[in-house]
Amino acid sequence: MEVIIRPNADAAAQLVAQIIAHDLRANPKLVLGLATGRTMESVYCHLVRMHRESRLDFSLCQTFNLDEYVGLAASDANSYRHYMDELLFNEVNIDPRNTHLPDGCAADLDAECAAYESLIKRCGGIDVQLLGIGRAGHIGFNEPLSALMSRTRVKALAPRTLAQNAPQFDVSTRMPRRAITMGVGTILESGRCLLLATGAEKAEIIAKAVEGPISSMISATALQLHPHCTVIVDEAAAGALAEQEYYRWIFENEPEWAAYRHLATPC
């Protein structure tokens, strides 16, 4: 695992977008795992900007989102399908048939989860998986006690997740209590993981996820097992990390990061 600390939230999001853009240019058929939530909004803003300004091409890439609420149709303004359409898919040249999210309204949810896993495999597996982190440490909707080898399945949302995400729902829609989510095992099989966390309210959980013991109580700790996981945080989210000096030295000195040190285009 490597940790990169950027001066602010926008610079952190820009770095994530730049890494994705680099991988997409190297492999136009990239299979990209996507996340939703407030933190990701600026990543998608930067990707759309790069599509417009420097012709970043999404025409051949496939995407798989981590999760979707059970019971929300794609047309629902609170669904993750709607979020993705609005913030990314409708704004770039991606083929809608190449954009995949679990169907939270499927008649047979278990069959839907199994089909999602099969589709990921048929597409050759996920090359780069984008991740946020919940305040209680979930990745996707892998709530406390998610097995570290879990696969795509229906998961009941934990009280802290319900509290964290409820403000996004307008009063007319009741927030679903269950979601389909890729499992921790599914996520760990991707070629590379990029976890983005910003803001002081993520500082405590980032320290536990990165420097704490591996535990199914905090599914993000499983990323310590991944051979190529990059955690990108802003100064505020880095606040409780013990080894900040070491992480800063790596970003400032290791040649692989040279091209990324001076990004400064706000979105």
Site for ligand F6R contains 37 (CB under 6 A): yes
Site for ligand F6R contains 188 (CB under 6 A): no
Instruction: Choose the binding region for ligand F6R from 42-50, 129-137, 223-231, 259-267 (rule: CB under 6 A).
Output: 129-137
- Dihedrals φ, ψ of 27, to 5°? -140, 90
Site for ligand F6R contains 138 (CB under 6 A): yes
DSSP secondary structure code for residue 215 in this structure = B
Please enumerate in sequence order all residues whose Cβ is within 8 A of that of 122, keeping only pairs 6 or more positions apart, or say none.
none
Q: Which of 39, 42, 63, 150 binds ligand F6R (CB under 6 A)?
A: 39
Site for ligand F6R contains 36 (CB under 6 A): yes
Site for ligand F6R contains 132 (CB under 6 A): yes
Whose Cβ is closer to ligand F6R: residue 158's or residue 246's? 158
Residue 85 burial class via C-beta count within 10 angstroms: exposed 0-12, middle 13-18, buried 19 and up: middle
Whose Cβ is closer to ligand F6R: residue 197's or residue 241's? 197
> What residues are paired with 192 via a beta bridge?
128
Minimum Å gap between C-beta 39 and ligand F6R is 3
Q: Is 158 left (phi over 0), alpha (psi -120 to 50) or beta?
A: beta
Distance in angstroms (rounded) separating the CA atoms of residues 188 and 205? 19
By CB under 6 A, name the binding residues for ligand F6R. Answer: 35-39, 66-67, 132-134, 138-140
